[in-house]
Amino acid sequence: MIGDNILRNLFDVAVAAADPVQVIGPYVPPKPKGKTAIVGFGKAAAQMAHALEIHWPGNESEQLSGLVITRYGHSVPCQHIEVVEAAHPVPDARGEIAARRILAYAEDLKEDDLLLCLVSGGGSALCAVPVPEITLAEKQAVNDMLLKSGANIAEMNCVRKHLSAIKGGRLAAAAYPATVVTLAISDVPGDDPSVIASGPTVADPTTFADALNIAKNYKLALPDSVQRYLEAGDMETPKPGDQKLQRSSYQVIATPGLSLDAAAQAAREHGVHPIILGDAIEGDAEVIGRQHAAVAIEALNTVPCVLLSSGETTVTVRGAGRGGRNGQYLLALCVALNGHAQVSALACDTDGIDGTEDNAGAIIRPNSLSRARDMGLDAEAFLAENNSYAFFDALEDLVITGPTHTNVNDFRAILIQPNN
């Protein structure tokens, strides 16, 4: 179908615009007087390391050494930089061991050395070094609670930072007096460095009190040791102006906004007018889906257009179904559109994984609801059960890409093709 092809092309273009191999070159720093240690964590970490080896000055990548952590299944071959796979979105022991090695890399550096840190979305879970007062199992429990709570990414990472020995600027502090350069691919609304992967190399403006308030607001049943540690607040994260962060610089090399711009240009080439709703949209996935349906309906009977958006919605898990935030958003959108003949849509995570499933997202067509009814599927019931994966799987409308080796958050496109 023409609409499907356009939507999928826009998604592919958005992902390609954030490919580390394509974007990292201009940001590679000069070689230091001393040694260079490469560390990284996130769903794009392996591809970023691979891209760095390609673009390192003078093609002298054999001078590089280091370690990056990525999600299981997201590895790519590197010649000189070690790649470790670990669990996401809930950390595991493999990730903790690798993260402690990264911390040791930083602590071993001298003034003439360079710590080059490659950061991308997912890094907060993948690079887990709990403070001594907290066990990994306790941190896993808190992480799981946060994922199901409906908290946004900034709120989740505020709590994570205050339970971590490496996040919230602590990695850069450990590397002092070495120079620290961070290259980041943003997966967070607003591209805030202190939120991307929980900001391991930048000052943390949040506090233990903020973390406690978030836990209280979302009624998290924290383990006793975690509650006591947060209440004590004895080891605050480095704040703006901290001397140990003065030799640390940060550059965001790919963002959701840049990917939306690339998709908008591709839409024009298809003869479709792009309308960018925003690149930092947050809120409940179901609510946003219904809101975007209303915007789409208002745009009916205009010129052919596509509504583009990015950001990170949230899902408060109430049912026992399977599916991520893109599936939840798209199913809500589908229900609210109620089979409008002029509208189709796609919603996918640019890393290729929607939540914890094997799909990037899904696609809806004008006949999605009618086909579901013919199969005896109640879309509203699937929505209430957080079971979008099963719904779109039954319709054979899942979008499955596999890992894309980048991550600039969610990509959403609603295509409106008026009747002539």
Residue 28 lies in a domain: yes
Which DSSP category does 197 fall into?
A: G
pTM assigned to the model:
0.93
CB 362 within 8 A of CB 392: yes
- If you average pLDDT over residues 344-357, what whole number do you get? 94
Cα–Cα distance, 242 to 109 (Å, whole number): 19
Q: Model confidence over 75-100: pLDDT tens digits?
A: 999 999 999 999 999 999 999 999 99
The widest CA-to-CA distance across the chain, in whole angstroms, is: 69
Residue 302 lies in a domain: yes
Residue 12 lies in a domain: no
Residue 341's CATH number: 3.40.1480.10
Nearest of 85, 91, 43, 46 to residue 196 by alpha carbon: 43
Q: Model confidence over 14-55: pLDDT tens digits?
A: 999 999 999 999 999 999 999 999 999 999 999 999 999 999
Residue 59 has pLDDT above 70, yes or no: no
Q: What DSSP element (H or E) covers 131?
A: none
Cα–Cα distance, 254 to 240 (Å, whole number): 24
Which of 193, 224, 254 terminates a domain? The answer is: 254
At residue 219, what are phi and psi to the nearest 5 degrees?
55, 45
Same domain flag for 291 and 307:
yes
Same domain flag for 223 and 163:
yes
Q: Which is it for strands 273-284 and 248-254: parallel, antiparallel or unpaired?
A: unpaired
Same domain flag for 296 and 392:
yes
List the end-to-end C-alpha distance of the chain, in Å, as a whole number. 18
Buried b (16+ CB within 10 A) or exposed e, 68-78: bbbbeebbbeb
Structure tokens that stand for 361 in this block: 């997202």
Cα–Cα distance, 419 to 350 (Å, whole number): 31
Cα–Cα distance, 135 to 169 (Å, whole number): 21
CB 289 within 8 A of CB 331: yes
DSSP 205-221: ---HHHHHHHHHHTT--
Q: Which is it for strands 343-349 and 410-416: parallel, antiparallel or unpaired?
A: antiparallel
Residue 125 lies in a domain: yes
Cα–Cα distance, 243 to 258 (Å, whole number): 33
For 224, other C-beta atoms within 10 Å of its C-beta total 8
Residue 420 has pLDDT above 60, yes or no: no
Residue 67 lies in a domain: yes
Same domain flag for 211 and 282:
no
Assign residue 164 a region: left if phi > 0, alpha if psi is -120 to 50, beta otherwise?
A: beta
Same domain flag for 104 and 199:
yes
How would residue 317 be classed by pLDDT, with cut points 50, 70 and 90?
confident
Give residue 373's domain range. Answer: 257-416
Same domain flag for 292 and 410:
yes
- If you average pLDDT over residues 228-255, what whole number do you get? 96
Residue 344 lies in a domain: yes
How would residue 303 be classed by pLDDT, with cut points 50, 70 and 90?
confident
pLDDT at 321: 85
Residue 87 lies in a domain: yes
Which DSSP category does 198 fall into?
A: G
Same domain flag for 127 and 24:
yes
Residue 256 has pLDDT above 90, yes or no: yes
Same domain flag for 197 and 283:
no
Helices (H), 87-177: 93-107, 123-126, 136-149, 153-161, 170-175
Residue 3 lies in a domain: no
pLDDT at 1: 54
Which of 254, 269, 284 terminates a domain? The answer is: 254
| C-alpha to C-alpha distances, 332 to 1, 222, 320, 327, 352, nearest whole angstrom | 23, 32, 17, 9, 21
Q: Model confidence over 359-374: pLDDT tens digits?
A: 999 999 999 999 999 9
CB 307 within 8 A of CB 413: yes
> In whole numbers, what is the pLDDT of the chain averaged over residues?
95
Which of 215, 231, 254 terminates a domain? The answer is: 254
Same domain flag for 221 and 367:
no
Same domain flag for 218 and 94:
yes
Residue 210's CATH number: 3.40.50.10180
- How many residues comprise the chain? 420
Same domain flag for 197 and 138:
yes
What's the structural domain count of the chain? 2
Amino acid code (one letter) for 250:
Y
Same domain flag for 294 and 374:
yes
